[in-house]
Amino acid sequence: MPRDVRGLIDQSGASFLNQLSAAARLLCCRWWRELFARCVQLDYLGFVTSVHVRVDGFRDSECGECDDDVVCEEDGGEERHRVRKWPHGLRNCPGSCGLFRTKVAASTGHSVTMVDQSEEILQKACSSIEKSLKRIVKKTFPGDEEAGLKFVQDTMKNISTSIDAASVVHSSDLVVEAIVENLQIKQDVFATLDKFAPERAIFVSNTSSLPITNIANATTRQDRFGGLHFFNPVPMMPLVEVVQTPMTSQATFEALTDFAKALGKHPVACKDTPGFLVNRLLVPFLMEAIRLHERGHGSKEDIDTAMKLGANHPMGPFELLDYVGLDTSKYIMDGWHELEPNNPLFASSPLLDSLVEQGKFGRKTHEGFYKYN
């Protein structure tokens, strides 16, 4: 039985809640975290449907067609670990991050349904995924056109689309959220979904900076709430941070770890601390690069070059900030500053604040620290 993955995205936080309560429908956005605060754009909200999850208290006993745990071998059999089979799968979405998750899930054998209010956006999403897959097969199947074509066809067969969100929520076993980094919006979304999703469902946030515990407190399923932080671009980045709060059950944590492995990712365990592992180290580093430039100790070009040539970083800190989004970076740092106002690593940057105020968010607005055509 293929693993069924379904996904959703939203374009307006307030509109989402109204639509969901009235007609259980979702709006879609085309790019992740483009705006925050007043504009509130949601970029990804996924529902894993009819997945057999071995978590105490909410095993899907009605399925009847689910496989037992299987042993998977990696690295030529040197590493063996228990991996759960998810017979009917995941849900993903047609935004930037959503497209990546859809492609990864579908290409690893999951049957994916993308859910949106607009058929036009769904069609464009499928077209983008197919184009991306065709680029991949040129490198993956060099000289074997038939195998490459079969890979594309098999992957696309795993993807279907829908504009009916209500059925997705009501039949979900795993709900994955990756919306704007706004605690109140995330709490509102999960509080609403908590009323529609079945009791057995695991809730997951893909937040990169907010406390999972604070988000989970808006629901009645703190023991079935955790974090899965993917890294962009999802198909290329193997890491997934699996976040366990003090209330997350061990069975839920193990299920989420196995899910990450099923996607071909390398999970690492994290506690629910600001920024988890990667961003807790990365964001202060990026902010210090800005402060270094503000103090006149180096141009942004020289700082970027120094880190690429001296530390072997693929992108300099200013290039990376523009790629991530200056608005997103500011929002993360502002949130951490509220949590720890006396921590100098979390202090604001006048230069960053000014650029965001001018609407210069980086690549997505064609100007940030650098200008882009």
Assigned fold of 278-365: N-(1-d-carboxylethyl)-l-norvaline Dehydrogenase; domain 2 (1.10.1040)
Active site residue 208: yes
Active site residue 279: yes
End-to-end CA distance of the chain: 47
Q: Nearest CA to 226 among 214, 212, 240, 239?
A: 212
Q: Give the number of other Cβ atoms within 10 Å of residue 371's Cβ.
A: 9
Catalytic residue, candidates 96, 205, 279, 329: 279
Residue 150 has pLDDT above 80, yes or no: yes
Calculate mean pLDDT across residues 316-320.
98
Kindly indicate the confidence band of residue 5, based on its pLDDT and cuts at 50, 70 and 90: very low
Query: Distance (Å, rounded) from C-alpha 16 to C-alpha 41?
Result: 10
Q: Nearest CA to 9 among 88, 102, 86?
A: 102
Cβ atoms 47, 174 nearer than 8 A: yes
Calculate mean pLDDT across residues 343-356.
96
Q: Give the number of other Cβ atoms within 10 Å of residue 270's Cβ.
A: 20
Q: What angle do CA 111, 116, 119 make, to 5 degrees?
A: 95
Element (H, E) at 279: helix 278-294
Q: Nearest CA to 228 among 345, 94, 60, 97?
A: 97
Residue 240 has pLDDT above 50, yes or no: yes
Q: Under DSSP, is residue 276 helix (H, G, I), strand (E, B) or coil?
A: coil
**Predicted confidence (pLDDT) per residue in 198-211, tens digit:** 899 899 898 887 89
Weakest-pLDDT range from 7-16, 120-129, 153-162, 168-177: 7-16
**Predicted confidence (pLDDT) per residue in 257-283, tens digit:** 998 998 899 999 999 998 999 999 999
Check residue 365 and give its pLDDT.
96
More confident: 19 or 185 = 185
Calculate mean pLDDT across residues 170-181.
76
Average pLDDT, the chain: 75
Q: What percent of the chain has pLDDT over 90?
A: 44
Residue 111 has pLDDT above 80, yes or no: no
Kindly indicate the confidence band of residue 113, based on its pLDDT and cuts at 50, 70 and 90: low
Check residue 35 and give its pLDDT.
21
Check residue 8 and give its pLDDT.
36
Cβ atoms 225, 213 nearer than 8 A: no
Kindly indicate the confidence band of residue 102, based on its pLDDT and cuts at 50, 70 and 90: low
Catalytic residue, candidates 52, 110, 229, 293: 229
Catalytic residue, candidates 241, 293, 319, 349: 241
| Residue 65 CA from chain centroid, whole number | 29
Kindly indicate the confidence band of residue 139, based on its pLDDT and cuts at 50, 70 and 90: confident
Active site residue 34: no
Residue 10 has pLDDT above 70, yes or no: no
Calculate mean pLDDT across residues 85-113.
56
What global pTM score does this model have?
Answer: 0.68
Query: Distance (Å, rounded) from C-alpha 136 to C-alpha 153?
Result: 13
Check residue 97 and give its pLDDT.
55
Residue 298 has pLDDT above 90, yes or no: yes
Active site residue 206: no
- Tell me the domain boundaries of the chain: 3-271, 278-365
**Predicted confidence (pLDDT) per residue in 38-92, tens digit:** 222 233 344 333 332 222 222 222 222 223 332 223 333 333 333 333 333 344 4
More confident: 207 or 350 = 350
Query: Distance (Å, rounded) from C-alpha 24 to C-alpha 20?
Result: 4
Q: What percent of the chain has pLDDT over 70?
A: 69
Homologous superfamily (CATH) for 3-271:
NAD(P)-binding Rossmann-like Domain (3.40.50.720)
Check residue 98 and give its pLDDT.
56
Calculate mean pLDDT across residues 241-250.
98
Cis before 211 (ω within 30): no
Cβ atoms 52, 16 nearer than 8 A: no
Catalytic residue, candidates 171, 208, 209, 249: 208
Element (H, E) at 7: strand 3-8
